Amino acid sequence: MKYSSIAQGLYRGTRAISQAANSVVATGAHRLSMQRASRFAATGVLAPGDPDPPPTGPSEYFDYRGTASERELRHLRDGEFSLGRFLDPRRGPRGEIGLPFGVLRRHAAVLGPTGSGKTKSVLVPWIATALRQGCCVVAVDIGGDLLADLQTHRSVTGPLGAKVSKWDYSDPSQSARWNWLEALDTDEAVVAAVDAIHGKLRFNDSQPFFHQRDARVLRGLIELARSTGSAKTGGELLRLLRDQSRLRTVAGFHPSDPGSGRLNDVIGLNPGEYMKAVSGVVNDLEMWDNPGLDTVTNTSTGINLNVLFDEPRLLVVGAPIHGGRISEAASSLLLSQVVNRLYRRFATNSGVHTFLVLDEAARLVSRLPVEELLSVSRKARVSVVLATQDVGQFADESERLAILGNCSTYISLPTPSRTNAEYLAGRLGQRFQSSISLTHSPGTQSSPGISRSAVTNTVPVLGPREIMHPPFGERVAIVHSPQVSGKPFLTDLTRPEW
């Protein structure tokens, strides 16, 4: 009994000593951990794997702990479509990475303000890669310098292995030719042209009758001109519409023509009422008073859309930003027929894989079926790359969400736009984050009454500050591509070599 009491006493003493020792070790380890976390927070940036910052440490820092690490993206080292160099928030730019070809089959969106590097850092390298992969590329050029940038890139990286042509009404001497009226070989092609010239019906249009009437008149005019040869260019089409007497005569000689039937409601009106009825279509067609546009569309020798996708080829569509409505309508007209030809591949499965690179894409959504294109184009072996300055440029929110939601890859360059930041933050969702809190209570000299506790909350994967103002330079990008990583990641798109 006495021996047992002594043993129990020894056991309790040993246990107390052990607990005290463990407490000292734990306290020391905790102190070291807090010091380490404080050092990281003091740099102003938290990186993947960094510990939670201490409650008494710096309160201002950029938190990138929700982004992917270099190790998690090692499978992107062999990606064909360059994303520049992986950017480690702690160590800076690392090795080259890129997206696999298969990822871009599900489309991509590139967001960033003017001068942020969308074209030179992303679009040009991707266009070159697509051509070298044996694809066809149709690209919108809003600045007039896409080919020059591509030439600079090619001088460093090598030949493209593809034919190159450009259609640009603002530079007719260097432009290929394309007669759009002769290219309208099906009813679907005519409807697509009408939407491109007149614009699609807006879902919230308070007076849809007038839009529908104008679309019907324009379609009838095009159909009648094509079947009778009474107009062979856009300018001739405009003059025919303005001449009510001549239009009535042409339609009268061809009463069974579908175009005549669509025009019956207006050609019999008195002259004053007639001009009111067709004024909207006249406004649509007045762009053909542009000499450059007339020059690049008055002959059929040039671009043949029926064979465009048979081999690697680059077609640049000039759409100068300063051209306003003319630029939008003209580029949309050619693109509408490109899309129409691509849709025909659903049944034939012919031609090479095609990339549509739409810079300032928000300008085109009122004239092109962009949302539909993104939804169904994979079946036609088409990849769409959209570039725009701000998600707010897609005026209709539901359309915006549908368009960007169909882009599996989303690349955001530094932007002052809170709309862009909020969209990306919402796209990335939430993550769990623990934090350490201190609780003060009355204590003694030996026990100050301070207790620590860990709290877990949900926070945005990236906050607006981290998205809008990343502290890594002008060419840093945030990439969200769920096909390659469940987390967003940072890249450095600086291209000093070109």
Q: How do residues 37-64 score in pLDDT, each as one tens digit?
A: 667 667 889 999 888 887 766 668 899 9
Angle at 108 between CA 107 and CA 113, to 5 degrees: 155
| Phi/psi at 90 (5° precision) | -90, -45
Query: Could you give the CA distance from residue 220 to residue 259 in angstroms, rounded to a whole number?
Result: 4
CATH match of 107-172+309-404 with 3.90.180.10: no
Partners of 410 in beta bridges: 109, 480
Q: Where are the domains of the chain?
A: 40-103+408-498, 107-172+309-404, 182-289
Half-sphere exposure of 274 (CA within 13 A, CB side): 15
Q: Which residue has the tokens 């479509």?
A: 81
The span from the CA of 109 to the CA of 124, in Å, is: 14
Helices (H), 203-278: 208-228, 234-242, 244-253, 258-267, 271-277
pLDDT of residue 27: 52
Distance CA 397, CA 372 (A): 16
Q: For position 6, what pLDDT does the model report?
A: 47
Q: How confident is the model at residue 111, as a pLDDT?
A: 95
Residue-wise pLDDT for 295-330, tens only, equals: 999 987 789 999 999 999 999 999 999 999 999 999
All residue ranges of the chain with pLDDT < 70 are: 1-38, 40-41, 56-59, 435-454, 497-498
Q: What is the pLDDT of residue 205?
A: 78
Alpha-carbon span 417 to 210, nearest angstrom: 36
